[in-house]
Amino acid sequence: MPGLTLTTEAFVIEKRPPTDAFQTFGLFSPEHGNLLALQRVSRKPSPTQVAPDLFDEVSVMLESSNQGRTWFVKEVRIAKRRSGIGRSYDALRFASALAIIDRDSGAGPGK
């Protein structure tokens, strides 16, 4: 049975510490809700591998072999990086509160 493919725009609302093989992200897509996505960590650093960061807006192509409960990153492109968010305590506090609300909402195919 072929796996599912999903292409969407999303916000990175969670970035867990990487394991030996994968970096895990919580994504929020306005179309698909909360998504759990894993990106393979390359053993050899590559300038072409894009690593999303917390609060980035990304365009992603995801694949799933288990009916969309877990997604694997096939392609990712950073649409907007919010590198200045940590320079203001209030901005960081509000962004963190938004990430908690989105992640805990239970919406989308990931929940």
Which CATH architecture describes the domain 4-104?
Beta Barrel (2.40)
Under 8 Å between Cβ of 41 and 23: yes
The pLDDT of residue 91 is: 78
Mean pLDDT of the chain: 82
The candidate with the shortest Cα–Cα distance to 38, out of 55, 21, 53, 50, is: 21
Write out pLDDT tens, residues 62-86: 999 877 788 999 999 999 998 777 7
* pTM of the full structure: 0.75
Domain ranges across the chain: 4-104
